[in-house]
Amino acid sequence: MMKLSRMSKFALLLSPLALTLSTGTYAQDQYPILDKVAAKVVAKYTSTPCEQLWQKKQAPPQPPSPQEQKAIQFLKSDPQMRVVFINKVAAPIANKMFECGLIP
């Protein structure tokens, strides 16, 4: 049985981490338009005061704009892109909702 040096063991441990980090970066660079849209959604939601979010929650739902309908349809048709989008917007929106008392 071959013994591995301490440096070899360290390199073996870092290999999966490097692969994970590189694929994460690739996923970010893969959809630049989606990145911009997600950033816009997050910025809009996180900059909205809690009082306004409460009012919006209590108001009857408004139909999406034509631009929003197009984006929704696109995300429905591309599950991979939908996952990337939701992964980008979910945490910041959930944090804002928690801060505002909209979720327990």
pTM, full prediction: 0.66
Domain residue spans of the chain: 1-30, 31-104
pLDDT tens digits for 39-91?
Answer: 999 999 999 999 999 999 899 989 999 998 998 999 999 999 999 999 999 99
Q: What was the pLDDT predicted at 16?
A: 45
DSSP state of 38: H
Rounded alpha-carbon distances, angstroms, from residue 57 to 13, 54, 63, 69, 91: 47, 5, 14, 20, 19
State the burial class of residue 2 (Cβ atoms within 10 Å of its Cβ: 0-12, 13-18, 19+). Answer: exposed
CA pair distance 31, 86, nearest whole angstrom? 13
Q: What was the pLDDT predicted at 29?
A: 66
**Buried residues in 55-87 as b, exposed as e (16+ CB within 10 A):** eeeeeeeeeeeeeeeebeeebeeeeeeeebbee
Q: Are 57 and 6 in contact (CB under 8 A)?
A: no
